[in-house]
């Protein structure tokens, strides 16, 4: 998957070099999508890139924000609208 193609599935990261968000929770989501598009892009397949991106974001946020990841992911769910099966893995 090429970064330019993956960017269309991103809700927070649009290719910027600096995070445009002041809100800490949105900044964490921006960072998760930025990492998915740059450092973790090998985890994104061509068959379902949006689903793969959502999985990477969920995993990244839950690892690096273990105490408030659900609050952060609630914002992501409202904006990015991942499939329910992906949500259920982290909310079961």
Res 91: pLDDT: 85
Range 64-72 contact pairs with CB under 8 angstroms and sequence separation of 24 or more: 64/28, 64/32, 65/28, 68/25, 71/25, 72/25, 72/28, 72/29
Res 55: pLDDT: 97
Res 1: pLDDT: 77
Which 8-state DSSP code applies to residue 7? G
Res 90: pLDDT: 86
Q: Are 64 and 36 in contact (CB under 8 A)?
A: no
**pLDDT of the chain along its 92 residues, tens only?**
788 999 999 999 999 999 999 999 999 999 999 999 999 999 999 999 999 999 999 999 999 999 999 999 999 999 999 999 999 998 87
Res 64: pLDDT: 95
Q: How far is CA 84 from CA 48, 50, 51, 73, in A?
A: 15, 13, 11, 13
């Amino acid at each position: 998957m090429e970064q330019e193609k993956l960017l269309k599935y991103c809700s927070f990261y649009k290719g910027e070099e600096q995070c445009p968000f002041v809100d800490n929770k949105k900044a964490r989501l921006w960072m998760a999508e930025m990492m998915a598009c740059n450092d973790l892009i090998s985890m994104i397949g061509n068959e379902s890139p949006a689903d793969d991106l959502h999985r990477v974001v969920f995993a990244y946020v839950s690892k690096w924000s273990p105490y408030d990841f659900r609050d952060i992911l609630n914002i992501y769910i409202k904006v990015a609208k991942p499939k329910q099966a992906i949500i259920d893995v982290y909310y079961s």
